[in-house]
Amino acid sequence: MKKFMVLYLAPVSVVDEWKKTEPAKRKADEEKMMAEWQKWMKDNAKIFADVGAGAGKTKRVDARGVSDTRNDVMLYSIVQADSHEAATKPFVNHPHLQIPQSSIEIMEISPLPGG
């Protein structure tokens, strides 16, 4: 089986706007999505090599040094499948896609030479 990295993305601007939502509505919507997400995870548990975790604050390292930055990555996970198409199929209609302008990217993990 091949392994694939799954990135759950949402634009930083959408997340910032969401944080301005009235707290009671935000809590209710988050609880609904979390329940749907947990059901999806249970229904698809067999595909995960690593269920992953949320992505926190980001540091960028470049030729100029280290700096704080933000990106659209919210979470990651690692799945196993026979093909890229098979790895992608379970994520169609995933609860994460309820977030406006969100997406999920699935990329094959290739071993590094000499690794």
**pLDDT (tens digit per residue) in 77-115:** 999 999 999 999 999 999 999 999 999 999 999 988 886
**Residue 113's pLDDT is what?**
87
Does residue 64 surpass a pLDDT of 90? yes
So what's the pLDDT on residue 115? 67
Structure tokens at 81: 């499948």
CB 85 within 8 A of CB 4: no
- pLDDT over threshold 70, residue 63: yes
pLDDT in tens, 12-45: 999 999 999 999 999 999 999 999 999 999 999 9
Are the C-beta atoms of 54 and 75 separated by less than 8 Å? yes
Q: Which helix (H) or strand (E) holds 73?
A: strand 73-81
Query: How is residue 93 annotated by DSSP?
Result: T
Label residue 82 exposed, middle or buried (CB < 10 Å: 0-12, 13-18, 19+). exposed
